[in-house]
Structure 1
Amino acid sequence: MNTEWITAEWANIPLMLFTALITYATILVLTRVVGLRSFSKMSASDFAMTIAVGSLFASTIALKNPSLLIGLLAIASLYLGQWLLAWLRRKSKTFSKLVDNEPLLLMSGSTILDENLDKANVTRADLFGKLREANALNYDQILAVVFETTGDVSVLHTTTDNQTLEPDFIQNVIGSEMLT
């Protein structure tokens, strides 16, 4: 019986621990330099960055290939790419529109926008689950429900009568003209 896949050579364990320590420290330093945005969920590129860094971290410490140096360079290039993408998004609205999703209005007050639910691939059951999570008790409390660029759902609600929604909060939300 071949047990190679279960066991390890004891000589490799200190090397793996050293590689994990160096790789982890590098990720922490790069995150401090580039910023916490590197692991946010604000856009699709942020999400991809989180997955890619995690995958490279695991590969670098658990496999012989990539080597520690190649793994660290790959992680550093991801951070550089993330920083460059964020910089370009800040500098160019056109570029930002190219790479970023736009938030989508799912409910305008008590009205469910089924067409937008379809666009977002969200079911009414999903929507009701998010309303429950937000502790919304009835339709009259709902000011707006927005499908965010990250895939999160924001429920803007109130328990106060005649409460209005700050226009800046729904700026650039597709369908927000239905709120006026």
Structure 2
Amino acid sequence: MFFHDWQGVLRVLLVGTMAYVALILMLRISGKRTLSKMNAFDLIVTVALGSTLATVLLSGDVPLAEGVLALLVGLQYAITWLSVRSDRIQHVIKAEPTLLVRDGQLLRDAMRQQRVTVEEIEAALRQSGREGLTDVKAVILETDGTLAVV
């Protein structure tokens, strides 16, 4: 239960080190966007990458080369490259920002559709140094889930 054999321990050490190096290389190749504030697509790819590397690390049935070649970071790079060049692909991959407050007035239909509460908007106002909605031009739900106060 706690220890099977030294071969398993050595495999985890060796494969873990090599997987770590491969992950760093993939993240450096894919660019800063991979580690920036994530939209839903980025989050899914990051979780899938972690799951793939965990499987490689803990399962003797999946070789390191196959896990590294799962191409998740490469696919993310390709999709983001395409989304920068195609409005159609960008629309599929990324959500649009949503206006939740306009000229100090709550847009309740938009809030309900995006499942944002008044309390969350008030918290965003406090974080931006505002006391209330009266001096707010807009509150926008950004594509990464943050609330921007204008």
* 4+ long deviations beyond 4 Å: none
Deviation, structure 1 residue 86: 1.0
Whole-angstrom distance in 1 between the partners of 2:96 and 2:130: 24
User: What is the aligned-residue identity percentage?
Assistant: 27
Aligned pairs (5 A) from 1:1-180:
4=1, 6-74=2-70, 77-156=71-150
The verdict on how the C-alpha distance between 1:155 and 1:66 changes in structure 2, with shifts beyond 3 A counting, is farther
Whole-angstrom distance in 2 between the partners of 1:40 and 1:150: 10
Whole-angstrom distance in 2 between the partners of 1:124 and 1:26: 44
Runs of 5+ consecutive residues of structure 1 not aligned to the other structure: 157-180
Whole-angstrom distance in 2 between the partners of 1:130 and 1:52: 31
Letter in 1 for 2:78: L
Deviation, structure 1 residue 42: 4.1
* SS state at 1:132 partner: helix
The verdict on how the C-alpha distance between 1:65 and 1:109 changes in structure 2, with shifts beyond 3 A counting, is farther
- For residues 63-93 of structure 1, what are the alpha-carbon distances to aligned partners after superposition, in whole Å with 9 as ceiling and x for unaligned? 223221211111xx11111111011111111
Whole-angstrom distance in 1 between the partners of 2:136 and 2:61: 53
CA contact 1:40–1:47 (8 Å) conserved in 2: no
Whole-angstrom distance in 2 between the partners of 1:84 and 1:114: 37
Letter in 2 for 1:152: T
- For residues 114-139 of structure 1, what are the alpha-carbon distances to aligned partners after superposition, in whole Å with 9 as ceiling and x for unaligned? 11101101111222222223332222
Q: Is the radius of gyration larger for structure 1 or structure 2?
A: 1
* SS state at 1:105 partner: strand
CA contact 1:46–1:82 (8 Å) conserved in 2: yes
TM-score (norm 1): 0.75
CA contact 2:122–2:132 (8 Å) conserved in 1: no
Higher helix share: 2
The verdict on how the C-alpha distance between 1:136 and 1:62 changes in structure 2, with shifts beyond 3 A counting, is farther
The verdict on how the C-alpha distance between 1:85 and 1:60 changes in structure 2, with shifts beyond 3 A counting, is same
Runs of 5+ consecutive residues of structure 2 not aligned to the other structure: none
Q: Give the paired residue count.
A: 150
Deviation, structure 1 residue 111: 0.9
CA contact 1:60–1:66 (8 Å) conserved in 2: yes
